[in-house]
Structure 1
Amino acid sequence: MKLQGALYPWRFRIVLALLALMVGALSWRIVDLQVIDQGFLKNQGDARSVRHIPIPAHRGLITDRHGEPLAVSTPVTTLWGNPRELQAARARWPELAEALGQDAGVLQQRLNDQSEREFIYLVRGLTPEQGQRVLDLSIPGVYSQEEFRRFYPAGEVAAQIVGFTDIDDRGREGLELAYDEWLAGVPGKRQVLKDRRGRLIKDVQVTKNAKAGKALALSIDLRLQYLAHSELRKVVQEYGAKAASLVMVDVNTGEVLAMANQPTYNPNNRRNLQPSAMRNRALIDVFEPGSTVKPFSIAAALGTGKYQPESVINTLPGWMRIGRYTIRDVSRGGMLNLTGILMKSSNVGISKIALDIGPEPVHQIMHQAGFGQPTGLGFPGERVGSLPNHRKWRDAETASLAYGYGLSVTAAQLAHAYAVLGNEGTNIPMSLLRLDRPQEGVQVMDKEISKTVLRMLQSVVEEEGGGGARAKVPGYHVGGKSGTAKKTSGTGGYTQSAYRAFFAGVAPVSNPRIAIVVVVDEPSEGGYFGGLVAAPVFGKVAARALRLMNVAPDNLPPPAEVQTAEAVKTKGGRI
């Protein structure tokens, strides 16, 4: 009986051939890997030992317009641990917890819960000295990495403009968020050798250098920002106000020189941070501006040619009815010219003018001054407000628009509008960044009309009975307008006891340099009128700002009067 293989000898030969082919393929692969293609095994080996770790990028510096730092990045040490390795050093956990300043029980629970992981953060943001003290304990499984932490030298003074970054150094509020890509930079890479446990053996080389973020120079003048911050804090405390804002704009360039808010917060310590304190109210809170828009209604009337500064309006008996609405004046004015209407802040007078010229001129000039439009500052969360444009205007809507109700603005928009008045009717875009050269503006108001309105506003401040006497600045002619507006309620009407106090003005009148708006929200102690609460803040801030900016005084007594006064004093001294 023959064997099966003897009956089919070709099968045996096929098997032998296949085995020979397999041996040949393996031999060729061995030769290929060991002799020809050596890079493959080298790369595989490197993949198990060579690592690329990121090099953090230095975030760009934020400064004020004079180079004073507002946000800087400092190196910090972050400690991380490998829970698998730390399991072998359980006896040293209490020592580690004490060095980290953490509760031993809490740390033990974390390490037990995450014992299968190979990476957890132990603590972040230590100073290099603090981190080195922990590393010097040589506890297995504890490692470090370099990071950067943001520090804000101005603290709460500029917090709501600059904003802050999170623990990963990403912008989260303010200009830190708006310009995050500009400031962030590009991380680099470092090639290192690590063992199978992830421990560093050798720092090989830097394969890609980190690219630092770009610097950002703001238009803010830190000296003026401190001044505004200080005066707002005082007025909030004195009058028991809920909040306050101040915006100062360079009339000629549109740059924001100061933007302060109360309440505020310290971005370097945000443990007890209240969300409401983070809000940049000057750009986010909208309100009805009240009497501060009356100068623009006067400008609209002058622009029609139907009215002149000496035109007289009968405001008696101090009230008027439009349908079911009654418009009242705070003070009884009588026969008032246009300057008198602003001085007495007559709602009746400005309403009669608006009803005579129609709503279109008033709406147009307010629109051209920037109401109801974005400022172009690019600030996160900025509100635009509203400027209604009805298809058919009712008389009540026309009158209320003329004296500052029925529209909503931000403090920044109002400051921008007054800068238009101060810049001879030229609308220049606002900027929170320092400008090397002024931006192009658009003429939106006749130059002579803007100058005439400024002279009227000067009378409001400097003449008796004008309502703005507390805004006077020694040595300078200033012009401005106070305002007081009831706050809206949640039901759509107005509250009976909650007000906002305003003052908006320009200084100096002869050669305007700055426009300032002050808003005080819900003053509750000692009064609530804009001329009483907000005007003094304007006066104090403007006085020091003009001197810091080296603006020449335009309201000094003539030299002859000064000499006569000195002579009388000297003569009296001799007697």
Structure 2
Amino acid sequence: MRLFCLQVVNFEQWQEWALKQHFAKVEVASERGPIYDRNAKLLAVSVPAGSIYIRPRQIKDKAEAIKKLSELLGVKPSIVAEKFDNKSPFVWIKRQVPRSLARKVEDWKLPGVGYILEAKRYYPFNQAASSLIGKVGVDGIGLSGVEALYEKKLHEDHLQTRVVRDALGKTLQFASGEKESFELPRGEPLRLTIDADLQQIVDEELERGRQASNAKAAYAVMIDSDTGEILAMSQAPALNLNSASTGTAKELTNKVVETVFEPGSIFKPIVAASAIELGLARPSDMIDCERGKFRFGKHIIKDVHGQGLLSLRDVVVRSSNIGMTKIGVRMGSERLYKSIKLFGFGEPSNLGLPGESRGIFRSDKVLAPVDVATHAFGQGIAVTPLQLVRAIAAIGNGGKLPKLRLLQSDEPFQSKRLISEETASMVRDMMFGVVEDAHGTGKQAAIKGVRVGGKTGTAQKARAGGRGYAPGSYVASFVGFVDATPIGIKQNISLIVSIDEPKTKVIYGGTLAAPVFREIMLKSLKLLATRYELRPPEIVEDALPKKNFTTVSYRPA
């Protein structure tokens, strides 16, 4: 009678219990879509990894299992033991370890201990563009950067599969319907405008510059001035995304778009361009720079090097705060505010990157006269490196503000005209003078064989509380572009380099940031000349064979 009840009367109930014992549902991280650079080089890809688990109720020798797992994974036995005290029937010990490591678990043949294959994110270029690409958590969800921004595209829902177990709780197989194997769901691929080769150059030279300056951090962004495509985005020190020890919110911050700072003198070409476009100034206008000291209301505005009469061109070339103050006064608060706004400041870019700042830019309605003066030479306003390089690109490309782009697309590139080609040409000449003239502040950015236009800047950092400036804290910057048509590259590339809190005797942008700019641009030109078999500039002729060349645009597919 008892047997009859078990096999017939209560069959469905006992069958349900048996299935629960022999099958368990486990959620396995799906395979995210790969991320490529503009030349189809892999920047991020999902690879198989082993995730080790236990079924505490099935463990026969708890002490042995704890000892083996702690030795295998290199963690304290006490940490492993805590997981054994979990009341859940299924507990992860460590997810996404190397498959070779996870496979050793099988050799132990310990009841209740096993592993499952999951997808783990791997970054072939390690720290290259790490703050931009972002990180994926152990659960397969994007935590920062592009990985988080395009989560819906890159990520498919995780797979819930049944695990077939034996009487000891050991996994025998995975079940998907009647099949013994399964394929992980896979997200869509993503192709960025980043050039992995250029990105590595920027990363390496930026870190080298940061170390040479003994600086807290450094930032750089390289863009195509005409199309607005981001070619490289870097910060130093960089984060190696393949390291298991990384991942705090602070570590994952993309400082290029989240950090704001007073730009200082690198802002002067933008104000000069606006004044010229409005018909309020010409490059030849003579301005009294007051021998380096100028009383403005209750304030004293100073120049590092005292000058007398200077043309507006030389005001920019020699970086006179007093000269720019007088240009700001000519413009007045309303026109100055509208002009700065027109160049994209006070608003985030269209990239939509997590945490992107719009900067700090007050309305003209609340600007005091001294604010008009200081804004004209880059103080009292806070910007991001991304905003600045985009604004300078508008001068470099002939007067159009490009819409920034991070994803490769067949859609037409977009831009809006801010200033005339004539105005842009005048200001470019000023920026060439910063590098080429005897009194220019950016001579260390010069590259023989091509023309470099730029602007140096050294700005004090605001106190953490927001009032006044922190003693001894500066940001040294250089922003500019290169005319590489003499070597056959028509592409106009703009680049900003900022050194944050250098600890050196000399803290000027022309001394610290300009040489880094030069090295990045020099190596980038060598790369592009080699890639497209063009004649290199004179500086690299000894390294590459001379040959006939054709002028082309840099548009890698």
Band of TM-score, shorter chain: 0.7 to 0.9
Across the aligned residues of Structure 1 and Structure 2, the Cα RMSD in angstroms comes to 3.1
Letter in 1 for 2:58: E
| Contact 2:105–2:115 (Cα < 8 Å) also in 1 | no
Residue 474 of structure 1 and its aligned partner are, at CA, apart by 1.6
Identity %: 31
Identify which range, 192-201 or 62-71, moves more after superposition: 192-201
Residue 475 of structure 1 and its aligned partner are, at CA, apart by 1.1
Corresponding position of 1:137:
108
Letter in 2 for 1:143: G
* Alpha-carbon distance in 1 for matches of 2:74, 2:484: 61
* Alpha-carbon distance in 1 for matches of 2:199, 2:451: 23
SS in 1 for 2:307: coil
Instruction: Find 1:345's aligned residue among 319, 329, 338.
Output: 319
Letter in 2 for 1:386: I
Q: TM-score, length-normalised on structure 1?
A: 0.82
SS in 1 for 2:330: helix
* Alpha-carbon distance in 1 for matches of 2:76, 2:343: 63
| Contact 1:56–1:146 (Cα < 8 Å) also in 2 | no
Identify which range, 192-201 or 380-389, moves more after superposition: 192-201
Residue 286 of structure 1 and its aligned partner are, at CA, apart by 0.3
Letter in 1 for 2:285: S
SS in 2 for 1:155: coil
Corresponding position of 1:21:
none
* Alpha-carbon distance in 2 for matches of 1:494, 1:91: 59
Corresponding position of 1:75:
48
Distance 1:370 1:193, change over 3 A: same
Q: Give matches, 1:256-405, under 5 Å.
A: 256-271=230-245, 276-391=250-365, 393-405=367-379
- Asked whether 1:147 is paired with 2:121, we answer no
Residue 512 of structure 1 and its aligned partner are, at CA, apart by 5.9
Letter in 2 for 1:70: L
Corresponding position of 1:417:
391
Instruction: Find 2:135's aligned residue among 164, 184, 187.
Output: 164
* Alpha-carbon distance in 2 for matches of 1:230, 1:111: 42
| Contact 1:263–1:277 (Cα < 8 Å) also in 2 | no
- Asked whether 1:220 is paired with 2:194, we answer yes
Identify which range, 90-99 or 239-248, moves more after superposition: 90-99
Letter in 2 for 1:81: I
SS in 2 for 1:143: strand
Residue 369 of structure 1 and its aligned partner are, at CA, apart by 1.1
| Contact 1:98–1:104 (Cα < 8 Å) also in 2 | yes
Corresponding position of 1:185:
156
Residue 132 of structure 1 and its aligned partner are, at CA, apart by 2.4
Q: Deviations along 1:373-392, whole A, 9 cap, x unmatched?
A: 11111111111102222315
Identify which range, 42-51 or 129-138, moves more after superposition: 42-51
| Contact 2:111–2:170 (Cα < 8 Å) also in 1 | no
Residue 320 of structure 1 and its aligned partner are, at CA, apart by 1.4
* Alpha-carbon distance in 2 for matches of 1:390, 1:202: 69
SS in 1 for 2:434: helix
SS in 2 for 1:74: strand
* Alpha-carbon distance in 1 for matches of 2:494, 2:216: 24
Distance 1:411 1:105, change over 3 A: closer
Q: Deviations along 1:90-127, whole A, 9 cap, x unmatched?
A: 5743674476346785378447634x542222332233
Corresponding position of 1:27:
none
Distance 1:229 1:56, change over 3 A: closer
Distance 1:201 1:449, change over 3 A: closer
Residue 357 of structure 1 and its aligned partner are, at CA, apart by 2.8
Corresponding position of 1:85:
58
* Alpha-carbon distance in 2 for matches of 1:345, 1:456: 11
Q: Deviations along 1:309-368, whole A, 9 cap, x unmatched?
A: 211112223221111111111112221111111111111111112212323332222211
| Contact 1:76–1:148 (Cα < 8 Å) also in 2 | yes
Distance 1:231 1:193, change over 3 A: closer
Distance 1:189 1:265, change over 3 A: closer
Residue 530 of structure 1 and its aligned partner are, at CA, apart by 0.8
Q: Give the total of aligned pairs.
A: 521
| Contact 1:189–1:210 (Cα < 8 Å) also in 2 | no
* Alpha-carbon distance in 1 for matches of 2:247, 2:27: 32
SS in 1 for 2:472: strand
Corresponding position of 1:485:
459
Corresponding position of 2:426:
452
* Alpha-carbon distance in 2 for matches of 1:251, 1:297: 19
Determine which structure has more spread, i.e. the larger CA radius of gyration: 1
SS in 2 for 1:482: strand
Letter in 2 for 1:281: K
| Contact 1:458–1:480 (Cα < 8 Å) also in 2 | yes
Distance 1:47 1:242, change over 3 A: closer
| Contact 1:193–1:204 (Cα < 8 Å) also in 2 | yes
Uncovered stretches (5+) of structure 2, i.e. residues with no partner: 540-557
SS in 1 for 2:102: helix
* Alpha-carbon distance in 2 for matches of 1:107, 1:374: 44
* Alpha-carbon distance in 2 for matches of 1:496, 1:103: 44
Corresponding position of 1:537:
516
SS in 2 for 1:534: helix
* Alpha-carbon distance in 2 for matches of 1:43, 1:274: 44
Residue 188 of structure 1 and its aligned partner are, at CA, apart by 4.1
Distance 1:270 1:525, change over 3 A: farther
Q: Deviations along 1:216-250, whole A, 9 cap, x unmatched?
A: 11211111111111111122222211111111111
Residue 428 of structure 1 and its aligned partner are, at CA, apart by 1.7
Corresponding position of 1:12:
none
| Contact 1:422–1:512 (Cα < 8 Å) also in 2 | no
Q: Deviations along 1:263-306, whole A, 9 cap, x unmatched?
A: 22222124277765433221111011111111121112212223
* Alpha-carbon distance in 2 for matches of 1:353, 1:108: 68
Distance 1:394 1:54, change over 3 A: closer
Instruction: Find 1:520's aligned residue among 499, 505, 530.
Output: 499
| Contact 2:80–2:93 (Cα < 8 Å) also in 1 | no
* Alpha-carbon distance in 2 for matches of 1:39, 1:274: 50
* Alpha-carbon distance in 2 for matches of 1:526, 1:282: 26
SS in 2 for 1:278: coil
| Contact 2:27–2:159 (Cα < 8 Å) also in 1 | yes
Instruction: Find 1:113's aligned residue among 85, 88, 95.
Output: 85
Corresponding position of 1:62:
35
Q: Give matches, 1:184-263, under 5 Å.
A: 184-188=155-159, 190=161, 205-206=176-177, 210-263=184-237
Distance 1:130 1:430, change over 3 A: same
Residue 53 of structure 1 and its aligned partner are, at CA, apart by 5.0
| Contact 1:481–1:503 (Cα < 8 Å) also in 2 | yes
Distance 1:437 1:346, change over 3 A: same
SS in 2 for 1:549: helix
Residue 496 of structure 1 and its aligned partner are, at CA, apart by 3.4
* Alpha-carbon distance in 2 for matches of 1:168, 1:47: 25
Distance 1:465 1:183, change over 3 A: same
